[in-house]
């Protein structure tokens, strides 16, 4: 079946349980902007780790940032994953921005795979950032101002991204509940138009907005 293009008002309808559409540009653009800011910060830290610049900018903790970025913990991570943690952060934040910009304002239904991939990139990054901040204080015994900034950004991104991920997962769950069909669920995951998928979306949109 082919998918009928919804009217503009349909694309911006609130998606329960939220009083807004979590795939709207007003929701996603701030995420992308913050992700690019975090990518720029991580790039600065990465350049120091790779030896391309002589120091890390830190107006609060001074030389402690250098201690954190070049700590034994950071070196062990490099030995394990083969790339500096700051460089990995740059790639992850750029991924957040790219995935955030991709898709329409109804991608929670039309591209669930994209929303879930977006969530996989954003949410674990926030968890890792919190772990790294804890390691700064408990293991390294020093603090990095820019690292703390990126950790705060990561948590904000998790908070902002979760509603869209939740809506996509709820949509897929409704598709599954209708027929318990793995084939239909698979089609819904990839955004293939089906009557069952459209019915599940309408069922979700008809719920009460909290």
Run of H or E including 35: helix 25-49
Residues 162 and 28: their CA atoms lie apart, in Å, by 11
Residues 169 and 124: their CA atoms lie apart, in Å, by 17
Location of structure tokens 């349909």: 10
Least confident of 81-85, 145-149, 169-173: 81-85
Measured CA to CA in angstroms, residue 5 lies from 1, 52, 62, 189 at distances of 13, 50, 55, 19
Confidence label for 73 from pLDDT (cuts 50, 70 and 90): confident
pLDDT digits (tens, 9 = 90+) for 161-171: 999 999 999 99
Q: Angle CA(18)–CA(22)–CA(28) in degrees, nearest 5?
A: 145
* Nearest residue to 23 (alpha-carbon basis) of 128, 101, 83: 101
- Residues with Cβ < 8 Å from 4, sequence gap 6 or more? none
Confidence label for 6 from pLDDT (cuts 50, 70 and 90): low
The tokens for 184 are: 């239909």
Of 68-77, 162-171, 198-207, which has the strongest mean pLDDT?
A: 162-171
pLDDT digits (tens, 9 = 90+) for 9-25: 666 789 999 999 999 99
How large a percentage of the chain has pLDDT more than 90? Answer: 61
Q: What is the pLDDT of residue 2?
A: 54
Q: What is the pLDDT of residue 70?
A: 85
* Residue 68: half-sphere exposure toward Cβ, Cα within 13 Å: 27
| Domains of the chain, first to last | 16-161 (1.20.1440.130)
Q: Is the pLDDT of residue 42 over 80?
A: yes
């Amino acid at each position: 079946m082919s998918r009928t293009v919804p009217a503009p008002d349909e694309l911006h309808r609130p998606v329960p349980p939220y009083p807004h559409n979590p795939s709207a540009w007003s929701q996603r653009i701030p995420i992308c902007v913050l992700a690019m800011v975090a990518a720029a910060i991580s790039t600065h830290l990465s350049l120091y780790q790779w030896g391309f610049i002589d120091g890390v900018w830190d107006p609060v903790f001074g030389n402690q940032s250098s201690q954190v970025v070049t700590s034994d913990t950071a070196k062990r991570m490099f030995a394990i994953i083969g790339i500096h943690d700051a460089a990995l952060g740059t790639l992850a934040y750029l991924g957040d921005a790219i995935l955030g910009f991709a898709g329409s304002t109804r991608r929670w239904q039309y591209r669930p795979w994209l929303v879930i991939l977006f969530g996989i990139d954003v949410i674990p990054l926030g968890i890792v950032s919190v772990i790294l901040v804890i390691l700064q204080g408990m293991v390294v015994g020093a603090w990095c101002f820019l690292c703390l900034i990126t950790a705060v950004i990561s948590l904000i991104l998790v908070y902002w991204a979760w509603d869209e991920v939740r809506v996509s997962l709820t949509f897929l769950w409704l598709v599954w509940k209708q027929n318990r069909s793995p084939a239909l669920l698979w089609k819904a995951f990839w955004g293939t138009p089906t009557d069952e998928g459209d019915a599940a979306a309408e069922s979700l949109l008809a719920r009460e907005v909290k």
